[in-house]
Structure 1
């Protein structure tokens, strides 16, 4: 992966990790549906303004693109946000992160089966190592109590995330990344429109700091984070890009430590180290041994 794409992936990891902290802060004032609608509405507006400023020709999606766009928008932007926001009202952050981050494994599996990416050994080994790190982070921060409905919501979010990534990947070879992100975000916003009356009620009584946090979620983890994600995804495989997001729980723990004063447990630090190792392994490429030219000549002469 080129340095620019690698940098874009790093920006995505940090912004998505910060979203966990923001959602935890906002969960006491805004319910899951209104929070999802507010975040996606802000993201859609900012992404639309970005397209206008760039003044790039708008490429109308073809008929074959719309099922993929709808799948990405409805599942990843709509269902994922609704399920994750609702889950974090029932489960602690560690358990939620552990359950949601079965998604990269699902991405690698679906990409191997449907996109022809196969199952490279480094990706499989690295994903399993990183998933072990995520599990340690989750165990170290878990309260030991998992509400059944919260678990179901987290798994729903993970499946929506994985299917959304796999449906987005083919689109990036035919349409500009910024355009795909904006269209998917708009579709997700439409999915959440039934929560508009509740959003008006809850925002009217919310504190100013709450509104700023909502704007942050829409502007950075959503508009910017999904844009950098699409840019990086268009330049690498879905499986390898998905494995990169195993770093999100580790960064989320560090941000919670810095911003919320939550000191990470030793087990969480060990889990973070495993995530780093797993991502490094998953993104490595096995080099093909080079045969010396003189050896080829000697074989030919025989």
Structure 2
């Protein structure tokens, strides 16, 4: 990727890393799926009246909305409510990187380069080191929900990449219209009318501030950039940047909540950063190609004819 797009990808990772803490902070007393309804109503309205619909089918928009938005965040919010710590959620959710690269290779024929494969392997190793250092105090249900959220995100990544639409903001906005109704229906089915009513009563300034962050920064800004990068670059070049997300989330948890990273977390974070650098490093041209380029430039220089 270009330097500009690499900086954009890094900025998205920072926004999303902090997002886990913001969600957990705001979702107090509000059922997870109801909280999701507020988020995606805010993403879709009033933006759909000002943002032109992307040149893709409604089926593609529905697939993105139901996987990257409803599936990923419905499961993630449920995991946080079930006891998944925000910092660890940011870590486990990055299993989407492996899922995305594998699904892209299987469905789109995008074979990762040797460097990209090694980078993803290093990043995965870093994730495992950090996970091993966190201990086994996380509820199994919360862990499974987070892994399923990662898989749902990966499916959405592949759908966006396959559609090749470059309008990241419009995809984010218009796919959001498929989220609130099924999310509300699931909230009513799981939490009941009384649970939803109690959640509405508990929705105060803290929940509103959290929703504003997730709507404006995490969704409208973050996913608009991320989707546009997926449309312009191969999946294996874009997705590994998200390896920065758990590093940011754990650093933010340390700075804001006093959660000091364990030794394994610090080591794993360094391994993940190395994996990212290996993955996104531009490949070197073969020696013969470099020599040929020099010869061509010499033959076309002034006075060479």
Q: Which residue number in structure 2 is paired with residue 45 of structure 1?
A: 45
2:177 pairs with 1:180: no
| SS of 1:277 mapped into structure 2 | helix
**Alpha-carbon distance between aligned partners in 2 of 1:50 and 1:14, rounded to the nearest angstrom:** 27
Question: What's 2:147 paired with?
Answer: 155
2-structure distance, mates of 1:17, 1:117? 27
Give the 5 Å matches for 1:222-237.
Answer: 222-237=219-234
User: RMSD of the alignment, in Å?
Assistant: 2.5
Gaps of 5+ in 2: 296-305
8 A contact 2:38–2:211 mirrored in 1 = yes
Structure 1 residue 101 corresponds to structure 2 residue 98:
no
In structure 1, the residue matched to 2:259 is 262
Tell whether 2:31 aligns with 1:34.
Answer: no
Residues in 2 aligned to 1:145 and 1:276: alpha-carbon distance in whole angstroms: 26
Partners of 1:201 and 1:192 in 2: how far apart?
17
Which residue is 1:212 aligned to?
Answer: 209
For each residue in 1:179-220, what CA deviation from the matched residue of structure 2 results, as whole angstroms up to 9, or x when unmatched?
212122222233313248655642323332232122212221
Q: Does residue 243 of structure 2 align to residue 246 of structure 1?
A: yes
Unaligned runs of at least 5 residues, structure 1: 52-56, 297-302
| TM-score (structure 1 length as normaliser) | 0.85
Cα distance change on mapping 1:46 and 1:251 into 2, 3 Å:
farther
Render the CA deviation track for 1:266-295: whole Å, top value 9, x for unaligned. Answer: 22221111111101111123223132359x
Q: Which residue of 2 aligns with 1:300?
A: none
Greater shift, 29-38 or 245-254, is seen at: 29-38
Determine helix, strand or coil for the equivalent of 2:287: coil
CA 1:237–1:145: 2 relative to 1, 3 Å: same
Q: Does the C-alpha gap of structure 1 residues 96 and 213 become closer, same or farther in structure 2, counting only changes over 3 Å?
A: closer
Q: Deviations over 1:58-111 (max 9, x none)?
A: 5553xxx33332221101100111100111222233543443221101101111
Following the alignment from structure 2 to structure 1, what is the Cα–Cα distance between the partners of residues 31 and 105? 37
What is the match of residue 158 of structure 2?
Answer: 166
* CA 1:175–1:224: 2 relative to 1, 3 Å: closer
TM-superposed CA distance for 1:40, in Å, is: 1.4
Give the Cα–Cα distance (whole angstroms) in 2 for the partners of residues 125 and 293 of structure 1.
29
Secondary structure at 1:280's aligned position in 2? Answer: helix
Deviates more, 1:148-157 or 1:41-50: 41-50
Distance 1:44-1:74 versus aligned 2 partners, 3 A rule:
same
Distance across 2 between alignment mates of 1:49 and 1:14:
29
